[in-house]
Amino acid sequence: MSNKIVTFGEIMLRLAAPEHQRFSQVSSYCATFGGGEANVAVSLANYGLKADFITRLPDNDIGRSVIMDLKKHSVGTENIIFGGDRLGIYFLETGAVSRPSKVIYDRSHSSVSEIKPGMIDWEKVFSGANWFHWTGITPAISQGAADTCLEAVKAARKLGLTISCDLNFRKNLWKWGSTAEQIMPAMVEYCDVILGNEEDAEKVFGIKPDKADVSSGKVESAEFESVCRKLKDKFPGAKKVIITLRGSISADHNSWSGILYNGERFFEAPVYQITHIVDRVGGGDSFMGGLIYGLLTFKNDDQRALNFAVAASCLKHTIHGDFNLVSVSEVEQLMKGDSSGRVIR
């Protein structure tokens, strides 16, 4: 069976302040679309896999523009449903040097936030699929989105799909009455692959390494092996637990790597020094897209899958917008050690 991946979540209008300007300076914004699960689908479609994105959009010109944009990137849209009044928006102010980037959400009462269980025919959506991916962003949006996400996870398990989750804790979204710690465990327990960054496990489950300071610019993989083990103990059904490792030297310079634990062995990726970041938003999603591709393509080679994910995400930091618009050959070139950036003629 050929691989088909389904992702579910919210896609938003992204309004980015140009040229490192502050919101107070902006007279025009760069408008694109983006959102965690859509970003993963675009990555996978770029790598030649069949990827479908599921969401709820307003039935207007903006909603139809989203469909056009996803189709441009070869993402399947036939099971997207329409309803509600508006598309969610997020504003991005890109930081520089010691000033961090900033995101402001405007997604209350969006079409996805008003979704309810029963609106999506998951059996139809998962027809022919072998992988389902969701993130912790979706249940953070609203009670309805959380209930629908749980409905999707249960349907995917019943139909035998591999299920992956990016924990993706967003403190500014969990405002509808329940906390991530109350809602997430019931969904994560269905997952075969769990991804988090150096802080997600602590923010969602209270699991943290004994000693680690991500603001020091150095994040050691050994410090997070205990986090992987504790996550695996908490969710014994998970086959793989992965932590991305980002060391923040400045807004423009990050170190980037990751570790993978398969219950028996730890795998550590090379560390990349990303010294002139163009756009780090979507970095974790590009990692997840690379990881899913790697796990599906490099069967039983967790090291190669992890290395592909880290290299793919490293390249994403050079691209404006949420989407990681790179090819398999470009990722593999970086994996071989070619980071020269020489012109290809």
pLDDT in tens, 246-281: 998 998 899 999 999 999 999 999 999 999 999 989
pLDDT score of 1:
55
pLDDT confidence of residue 173 = 87
155: three-class secondary structure by DSSP: helix
What pLDDT is recorded for position 221?
80
- Picking from 70, 82, 89, 150, the residue whose alpha carbon sits closest to that of residue 114 is 82
CATH code of the domain occupying 4-334: 3.40.1190.20
**What mean pLDDT, rounded, does the chain reach?**
93
Percent share of the chain, pLDDT over 70: 95
> At CA 173, angle to CA 171 and CA 176, rounded to 5?
115
Domain chopping of the chain, boundaries = 4-334
DSSP for 42-67, written as a single string: HHHHHTT-EEEEE-EE-SSHHHHHHH
pLDDT for 220: 74
Burial 141-179 (b: 16+ CB within 10 A, else e): bbebbbbbbbbbbebbbeeebbbbbbbbbbeebbebeee
**What is the per-residue pLDDT for 199?**
85
Distance CA 132, CA 129 (A): 8
Query: pTM for the whole thing?
Result: 0.93
Q: Using CA atoms, how far apart are residues 78 and 6, in angstroms rounded to an integer?
A: 12
Chain-centroid distance, C-alpha 249: 22
| Ranges of the chain whose pLDDT falls below 50 | none
Give the pLDDT score at 208: 84
Angle subtended at Cα 284 by Cα 23 and Cα 148, rounded to the nearest 5 degrees: 90
